Every structure is written in structure tokens, then in C-alpha cells.
Amino acid sequence: MPTMCSSTILLILSFLIGLSCSLNPKDPNVCSLWESYTTSVKESYFHPYDQVTEEPCSDPRTNYRCIRHRITYKTAYRQAVKTHYRKRYQCCPGYYESGDKCVPRCTKECVHVP
């Protein structure tokens, strides 16, 4: 149980640090990009199976008993990987991140032109 609690606290702290040091998307030197990430999810699906029954029939060669096959479906579960997308902000080329700002790498004044 202590491990679970420690993990939760670490996750919350990481989130709060991320909020306090996030880049301003309206800053002209902040660029955005879409990044993908995956999650593992449990999903349900219908799994087919062959239901075999023996029924009376009119075939004397089989002692009047016939085998019948019927495909039926049962709900089953499996692990699947889902891809999601999120927008991420980073400093544009020629700038580096310093706290919550994008600072130019060049020595003279430079501006990112979109």
C-alpha cells in the first residue's frame, strides 16, 4: 500500500510542476505539435464458437440421430492498445526552454516567423 500512495503523490507533484512551468501557447516563439501516445484498454468482443447438438432426424443411417452445428457468440474480453493524440507545446527552432519562457539561442535579436 505505501508504494501505491507514493506513486500517487509523485504523479500529483509531477502534474503540479508541469502546470507551473508550462509554456504559453500565445507566445510567438512557442510552437505546437501533435504527438501520439498509447494506452492499454480492456475491450469486449463477440467470440464465435460452434455449438454442437444431437437431434432426432429422419435419417435411418444415423439411427435417426443427427449432429447439428450452430455458430453462437459469447462476450469475451481482450487487451487492446489504443492510440490517442494530444497537442504539445515546445520552443520553436532557434529557441530553448528556460522555465516557462522560450529564450533565443542567437546573440542578436531574433524572432520566429511563422
Whether 107 shows a pLDDT value over 70: the answer reads no
Dmax (CA) for the chain in angstroms is: 100
pLDDT band for position 7 (cuts 50, 70, 90): low
Lowest-confidence segment of 17-21, 22-26, 106-110 by average pLDDT = 17-21
* pLDDT value at residue 71: 96
Least Cα distance to 22 among 101, 92, 79, 75 occurs for 101
Amino acid identity, residue 1? Answer: M
Which DSSP state fits 110? Answer: -
Burial, 102: exposed, middle or buried (Cβ in 10 Å; 0-12, 13-18, 19+)?
buried
